[in-house]
Amino acid sequence: MLLVFIVAIFIVLGAVYSITVPLWETPDEVHHFFFIKHLTEGKGLPVQRLETRGLWEQEGSQPPLYYALGAALTFWVDMSDAELLLWKNPLGNKGTPASLGNKNVFIHTYREAGPWHGTTLALHLLRGMSLLMGAGTVIAVYALARQVFPDERWLAVAATATCAFTPQFLFISAAVNNDNAATLLCTLVLWQLIYLLRRSGGLEEWRLATFQPSNPSTLQLTILGITLGLAALSKLSGLALLALTGVVLAWIAWRRRSLTWFIRTGIIVFGLAVTIAGWWYLRNWRLYNDFTGLRAMFEVVGRRYMPVNLQYLWGEFRGLRWSFWALFGWFSILLPIPAYYALDGVTLLALIGLVVWLARERSKTSIPISLIVPVLWLIMVFISLLRWTSLTPGTQGRLLFPAIGVVAILLVYGLSKLVPQPWSRVIVTTWCIALLSLAAWCPWGVIRPAYARPAAITEAEIPGHLPRLNLDYCDGKIRLLACELNHQVVQPGETINITLYWQALKPTDDDVLMYIHLLGRGMELVGSLDSYPGWGTYPTSLWRPGEVLRDRYQVTISPSAQAPTLCRVDVGMTTQEQATGVSAGDDGSPVIFEGQFKLVPRKWPVAEGQRTDSRLGDQISLIGYAIAEETLTTDDNLHLTLYWRAEGPPEEDYTVFVHLLNTGGQRISGWDNPPLQNDYPTSAWDTGEVIADEYSVPVPAEAPSGEYTIAVGMYDAKTGERLPVTLADGQQVPERWIILQKIRIEPQ
């Protein structure tokens, strides 16, 4: 009953994943589909050539079982509209989950909506076929676990639930992907091997004087051979099962002391496997001079060479762990990071439990071969994965799915060994419920938001406090109504949320890119974003006249951005060619700043050089200054850094003056400028902030040699009135300036 319940939940959740994930938005689904379409058109198996590769890309080298089944299911469906659905997002996010947007590799339109027909219907039929294969895997995992835990049914149920409710397994099971056939068949072969071991004798049974091993029937061996052949015809990972099967049969034959049994059994099992799958590998040899066909695949997908670098290897291992549990889209949609830490924690606890169990059992010889063989299979799959990822980009957790049943068994077994009964059941049950909750939440909380279009609203729903911009783009077809920033103060390396309110005024056939530029000190570009609107989901040609959109983005600020400064937000629209530099020219967007925010350092500077304590007005103090050189020559420049501190938020924007005075108090040179070249005006300062403000004052060529005095202060540019200056002892300075020190000027 529990198995039926788990399988039913798996199918329901899988259907939800299938409907929630847009077409083509699972890894290589588009390529798997066009392999199947190629077969339905009667063109036979693809021949993989770099110069003539089709839309199946590298998948044209894959063993054909899954694709043949898919073609048999969908041959009657008219798929002539397939290429019309291949509207690629030019900035689609593949394999970079840290990037915040463009999670959709393809643009999705009304053609994908119900009632399904054409390619959409075919794709959902194929996803349904995959889901049934996934359900078969869940049942096979239960059968395998029952062989491993014959006296502990509850552990078999827990292992089955772990497999069924792993979010990534659900995600792949609801996709067009040959992994589903390979995972099912590999699990079935592994179950049959353990069954043979149990019937023919495990480690414990052979020690019993009363044990009489039974001979597997010809039917059992025939089924094993057929399943083994089908596994080898589903994916190359199935080939490794031939070696594992040979090990198991050799072990049984050795325990029986019967070479004849091994030969007879091997002829049946391997003969059938070779008969079923051998033709495919011979075809590869004839076409590519390579039994596996990997050379032809590498020509398409490319090779890579793994650098011997611990940081790189750790990143690969992290990607493997995350993509085993849940990494959606084209490896671009993450769970909240704490969820991965929690999953790592559970895995670590399970490993600890296994180590504790092994420590207890090391003085015994009771570890059953029925558990050793699955572990051997997991090791073989992992080694194959390492080999594969050393040759080509592909460190993906789903490549471990042929051994997902083993992973689930080891995980629940390890958790069950952490504490004695009945608490072990509580821990394992809690794990299964938590994993089910996570799997049920992912379609709504993670996947669906990643592909959501911007919300259509009424103009009255735009927040009233936002100033109206009414900036027109694309020859007056699109208008930017307002821009909203969620933060007023950020630091380098952080992200800022920006909401744009668009209105479609007229229909447009053009699909232009929207850009957001964050401009910091000296108009330095400190953050940018280029995308179709809706972060890649809603190109402008799909907009309906009169539609008002609330379009939300996150832009990351460069960690090396200079701070403090006021960052300006520039929004515009451009063509893809202009955005990528393929073509030059003005994009026609108005150069108007739609908003600004403060960018402040993580740590305010400490005053260097000479200390001072002078107050300008009520809100600003000069706490120090630094001079590069105290002796200058004519035609040189005085390099001066002033350290201001805000004692309170100034209400006005003040201008700094730096004067060079002769012995008579007359100004011979100077420099007037708002702080930080007006990139961080005083009205933006807040209490406690320290601003390192640099100036370069020219020394006149005609200045006579001698001593000169540096005087600084601030004034209101609108009125010309200087801020009053109060020294540390409370004395007021009539000239309203601060005398720093004397310098000497020598002739050049």
Which has more pLDDT, 419 or 135?
135
What pLDDT, on a 0 to 100 scale, did the predictor assign at position 364?
55
When pLDDT is cut at 50, 70 and 90, the band that residue 208 belongs to is very low
pLDDT at residue number 326: 95
Q: Which is more confidently placed, 686 or 632? A: 686
Q: Which helix (H) or strand (E) holds 660?
A: strand 654-661
pLDDT(19) > 60? yes
User: pLDDT at position 296, please?
Assistant: 79
Strands 525-531 and 495-504: unpaired
Q: Are residues 75 and 179 in the same domain?
A: yes
The pair phi, psi for residue 640, each rounded to 5°, is -130, 135
Highest mean pLDDT among 215-219, 250-254, 419-423, 735-739: 735-739
pLDDT score of 688: 94
Q: Which of 447, 472, 502 is the last residue of a domain?
A: 447
**Is the pLDDT confidence value at 389 over 90?**
no
Span 673-679, mean pLDDT?
A: 93
Q: What is the pLDDT of residue 242?
A: 95
Residue 204: pLDDT band (50, 70, 90) is very low
Mean pLDDT in residue range 252-258? 84
Q: Are residues 365 and 489 in the same domain?
A: no
**Residue 390 confidence class, pLDDT cut points 50, 70, 90:** confident
Residues 635 and 594 in one domain: no
- How wide is the angle at C-alpha 591 spanned by C-alphas 585 and 597, nearest 5°? 130
Domain end (from 535, 570, 599): 599
Q: What is the pLDDT of residue 397?
A: 85
Same domain, 157 and 190: yes
Assess contact for 602 and 543: CB atoms under 8 A.
Answer: no
Q: Do both 489 and 436 map to the same domain?
A: no
Mean pLDDT value across residues 361-390: 78
Residue 729 lies in a domain: yes
- Average pLDDT along the chain: 89
- What per-residue confidence (pLDDT) applies to 183? 97
In a domain, 682, yes or no: yes
Is there a cis peptide before residue 420, judged by omega within 30 degrees of 0?
A: no
Whether the Cβ atoms of residue 518 and residue 555 lie closer than 8 Å to each other: yes
pLDDT of residue 703: 85
Residue 340 pLDDT exceeds 90: yes
Q: For residue 313, tell me if it sits in a domain.
A: yes
Rg of the chain on CA atoms, in Å? 35
Question: Are 562 and 650 contained in the same domain?
Answer: no
pLDDT (tens digit per residue) in 72-100: 999 999 999 999 999 999 999 988 888 88
Task: Flag whether 145 is in a domain.
Answer: yes
Instruction: Decide if 259 is inside a domain.
Output: no
Confidence check: pLDDT of 654 > 70: yes
Cross-strand partners of 743: 708
The reported pLDDT for the residue numbered 631 is: 87
Same domain? For 546 and 690 the reply is no
Looking at the structure, do residues 661 and 590 belong to the same domain, yes or no?
A: no
Same domain, 648 and 727: yes
Confidence of residue 453 (pLDDT cuts 50, 70, 90): very high
Question: Which residues form the domain of 721?
Answer: 610-746
In a domain, 213, yes or no: no
Least confident of 110-114, 244-248, 658-662: 110-114
Residue 637 has pLDDT above 70, yes or no: yes
Higher pLDDT, 166 or 574: 166
pTM (2 d.p.): 0.87
Predicted pLDDT of residue 254: 86
Total structural domains within the chain:
3
Per-residue pLDDT band for 309 (boundaries 50, 70, 90) equals low
Same domain, 624 and 735: yes
Domain CATH for 570: 2.60.40.1930
Q: Write out pLDDT tens, residues 551-601.
A: 999 999 999 999 999 999 999 888 776 655 444 445 555 556 678 899 999
Distance CA 421, CA 424 (A): 5
Q: Which of 427, 447, 467 is the C-terminal boundary of a domain?
A: 447
How many whole angstroms from its chain centre is CA 435? 21
The CA distance from 518 to 526, in Å, is: 6
pLDDT of 209 > 50? The answer is no
Strands 620-627 and 654-661: unpaired
pLDDT computed for residue 48 by the predictor: 84
pLDDT of residue 305: 62
**Percent over 70 (pLDDT), the chain:** 93
Q: How confident is the model at residue 318 (pLDDT cuts 50, 70, 90)?
A: confident
- What pLDDT, in 10s, does the model give residues 465-490? 999 999 999 888 999 999 999 878 99
Give the list of residues 6+ apart from residue 564 with CB closer than 8 angstroms, or none: 598, 599, 600, 601, 676, 680, 684, 689, 691
Positive or negative: CA dihedral 151, 154, 156, 157: positive
- Helix (H) / strand (E) element for 453: namely none
pLDDT 10s digits, 39-53:
999 999 998 887 777
Question: Which pLDDT score is estimated for 307?
Answer: 57
Share above pLDDT 90 across residues of the chain, in percent, rounded to a whole number: 69
Q: Average the pLDDT over each of 154-158, 337-341, 695-699 and give the range with the smallest value.
A: 695-699
Longest dimension (CA), the chain: 119
Q: Give the Cβ contact number of residue 283 at 10 Å.
A: 15
- The answer as to whether 605 is a domain residue is no
Predicted local confidence at residue 313, as pLDDT: 63
Torsion angle of C-alpha atoms 171, 172, 175, 178, degrees rounded to 10:
180
d(CA 524, CA 502): 27
Q: 401 and 355: one domain? A: yes
Residues 57 and 184 in one domain: yes
Q: Please tell me whether residue 244 adopts helix, strand or coil conformation.
A: helix
Task: Say if 396 falls within a structural domain.
Answer: yes
Give me the mean pLDDT over the 94-116 stretch. 89
